[in-house]
Structure 1
Amino acid sequence: MASIETLTLEVADTTAAHHFYSAFAPDAQISLRASEAPTTGFRGFALSLTVPRPADVDALAGAALEAGATVLKPASKSFWGYGAVVQAPDGTVWKLATSAKRDSGPATGRIDDVVLLLGAADVSASKQFYVDRGLAVAKSFGSKYVEFATPSSPFKVALYGRRALAKEVGVPIDGSGSHRIVIGGAGGPFTDPDGFAWEAAVAAPAPTA
């Protein structure tokens, strides 16, 4: 398993979700699938869009709100850059971020990276699980954060402690039921230690736009 080929969100209403993602981030290459699987509270993951400038964060946040998202963290500066967190109508949490603190121009409309942030009960154990399945570690900060190298993939994947991730995106840690996301890549199907499901990727993801 050298890369992630697809990310599929499981949603109750695919038509409504398609409308939202077409307006919010059509270039993110997220796929949609109908599901009524019970889910409550924090689903244990977030998706992060890394962009070039603060104006891009503002533009994405504005598009998300106009399409029906709610604000979890309003756009603001921090020691690492500039960012915001929104929650889609289907419940998916999106972090919008740039390392640039000073706005150097208008929004570019570009998304540099789509990053899947997985909340792990034990980051070290989950790290070893993925290393054993062929993912190489690109960055590691002890038991706090791990980013894997996926150079041939349209997506990146990283591990946070579940509590730390919930705090990062501004939601309570409690949650149960389906994660409502399925990851596609070589080596599937399997389920990781935190219950995230992987399936064999058989085709490129269909754009939501």
Structure 2
Amino acid sequence: MATTASTAARMSLASVTLEVADPEAAHRFYAAFGVDAYVRLRASEGHSTGFRGFTLGLTVSGPATVDGFFGAAVEAGATVLKPAARSLWGYGGVVRAPDGTIWKIATSAKKDTGPDTREIDELVLLLGVEAVKATRQFYVERGLTVTKSFGGKYTEFAAGTSCPVKLALYKRSALAKDLGVPADGTGSHRIALGSTAGTFTDPDGFVWEAAEQPASSPH
């Protein structure tokens, strides 16, 4: 799709829609998890196998809050992919929601300085891509602003005003390794991104649709 300067200036991430087999069950899970305000849900019979190529990440203030969200997710039916534990970069863990979406919950703090706040400092949609530099350029040409960039390994874009979720890019194989899953996967990504600049598909097959297009959700 050709992108004009005026279109690029308006481009931002306006919404994140998860395509699930059972929206009502998914809504119950995300409400119990505590993230239902951040994502839309809609019914889809799209088929996927293996890694879907993305993760949603919660950044929180400390280990107690990581444990709070992690425990809520598991109690609501999530599968543990990586138990919450200390690492070189902080403290965190990874779960897979019943609908198949992978969530990483983490903090840069290794020790608690307070109780579980149940507050989310930042939510990042991390797309696993084959060529970070090329995909970064694709999005820059559509008006997104780079706020962090580490060569061909990682890129983060500025958040839009209408969506609390920040978009970032990571090498697909590295992302899968970080999540503790095989990098292989086929079929639908089971995610649709709302765009203020219309409909298009990025180099890795992630579909963006017009933001005004309604997402069917039970809430």
Out of 72, 97, 107, the residue aligned to residue 98 of structure 1 is 107
Q: Which residue of 2 aligns with 1:156?
A: 166
- Measure, in 2, the Cα distance between the counterparts of 1:140 and 1:89: 32
Report the TM-score, using the length of structure 2 for normalisation: 0.90
- Measure, in 1, the Cα distance between the counterparts of 2:95 and 2:157: 24
Tell me the C-alpha RMSD between the 2 structures. Answer: 1.8
How many residues are matched? 209
Classify the secondary structure of the residue corresponding to 1:57.
helix
CA contact (8 A) 2:20 2:99 kept: yes
- Measure, in 1, the Cα distance between the counterparts of 2:12 and 2:121: 17
Classify the secondary structure of the residue corresponding to 2:113.
coil
Q: Which residue of 2 aligns with 1:177?
A: 187
Q: Mind listing any 5+ residue stretches in structure 2 that lack a counterpart? A: 1-9
Out of 132, 135, 149, the residue aligned to residue 140 of structure 1 is 149
- Measure, in 2, the Cα distance between the counterparts of 1:63 and 1:208: 21
Amino acid at match of 1:98: T
Q: Which residue of 2 aligns with 1:63?
A: 72
| Distance change in 2, residues 1:207/1:53 (3 Å) | farther
Runs of 4+ in structure 1 off by over 3 angstroms are: 203-209
Out of 5, 8, 11, the residue aligned to residue 14 of structure 2 is 5
Amino acid at match of 1:11: V
Identity %: 62
Report the TM-score, using the length of structure 1 for normalisation: 0.95
- Measure, in 1, the Cα distance between the counterparts of 2:73 and 2:106: 14
- Measure, in 2, the Cα distance between the counterparts of 1:27 and 1:9: 11
CA contact (8 A) 2:131 2:171 kept: yes
- Measure, in 2, the Cα distance between the counterparts of 1:20 and 1:202: 26
Q: Which residue of 1 aligns with 2:127?
A: 118
Classify the secondary structure of the residue corresponding to 1:129.
helix
